[in-house]
Amino acid sequence: MKPMLEAFGPLDAEGWLPGALRIPSPNHDQRPASETISLLVLHAISLPPGEFGGQAVIDFFTNRLDTAQHPYYASLIDMRVAAHFFVRRDGTLVQFVSCLARAWHAGISCWRGRERCNDFSIGIELEGDDFTPFAPKQYTTLARLIERLHERFPLREIVAHGDISPGRKTDPGPYFDWSRLPPLDRRK
């Protein structure tokens, strides 16, 4: 079966994905020159927790979140984070950071003995939480995105944020269906 990639073009020379809604975030910097992008890190986020839709996640990743709008937001004051991508429940894909830059998504992290996972990973946030199944359209978009990223980068593994930050993070949580992801060993 041929992968369905028509929704997104190949990554451009600057690391942006045509077909994704581009909303640049300042929450990134340069990757170390010696690093190769080899890891995808999957996250889940909803703001406020358990509520989907709305502008809060986008505002959070672009440092425009009004922390007075909800009591939970007080815990986010002065946080500067962003993933490369955000997959909404309706399948819409937002890109905040070029894949060539180091997005601030993983925090304190370690995978297979390598610390600072932001240096060698791409972060993908899914609109969700630990208590709600993800939407079918999210899996469709995520699979297409993974295929496009794999065309450009020598990706070796896809992991959960909880895998690289155990005890600190649990996302994307128990309702994420890992069997719906395309295998990384598939070649065109």
pLDDT 10s digits, 59-92:
999 999 999 999 999 999 999 999 999 999 999 9
Kindly give the pairing relationship between strand 110-111 and strand 114-115. antiparallel
pLDDT score of 2 more than 60: no
Instruction: Look at residue 185 in the predicted model and tell me its pLDDT.
Output: 60
CA distances from 166 to 43, 87, 138, 163, 171 (A): 13, 23, 24, 6, 10
Locate tokens 């909800």: which residue? Answer: 70
Q: What is the DSSP code (8-state) at residue 77?
A: T
pLDDT-based confidence at 1, cuts 50/70/90?
A: very low
Mean pLDDT of 15-25: 97
Helices (H) and strands (E) in the chain, counts: 3, 10
C-alpha distances in angstroms, 175 versus 27, 83, 132, 178? 28, 20, 6, 9
Please, are residues 185 and 127 in contact by the beta-carbon 8 Å criterion? Answer: no
Domain 21-46+82-175: which topology? Lysozyme-like (3.40.80)
Under a CB-based contact definition with an 8 Å cutoff, are residues 105 and 84 in contact?
Answer: yes
> Each residue of 136-187: pLDDT tens digit?
999 999 999 999 999 999 999 999 999 999 999 999 999 999 999 988 864 3
At 183 the pLDDT is: 87
Query: Cα–Cα distances in Å, from 106 out to 60, 69, 152?
Result: 15, 26, 21
Q: Does 51 participate in catalysis according to the annotation?
A: no
Q: Catalytic residue among 6, 14, 35, 125, which? A: 125
Tell me the longest C-alpha to C-alpha distance in the chain: 49
- The candidate with the shortest Cα–Cα distance to 73, out of 87, 88, 56, is 56
> In this predicted structure, what is the pLDDT of residue 184?
82
The structural domains of the chain, with segments of one domain joined by +, span 21-46+82-175
Q: Which residue has the higher pLDDT, 185 or 39?
A: 39
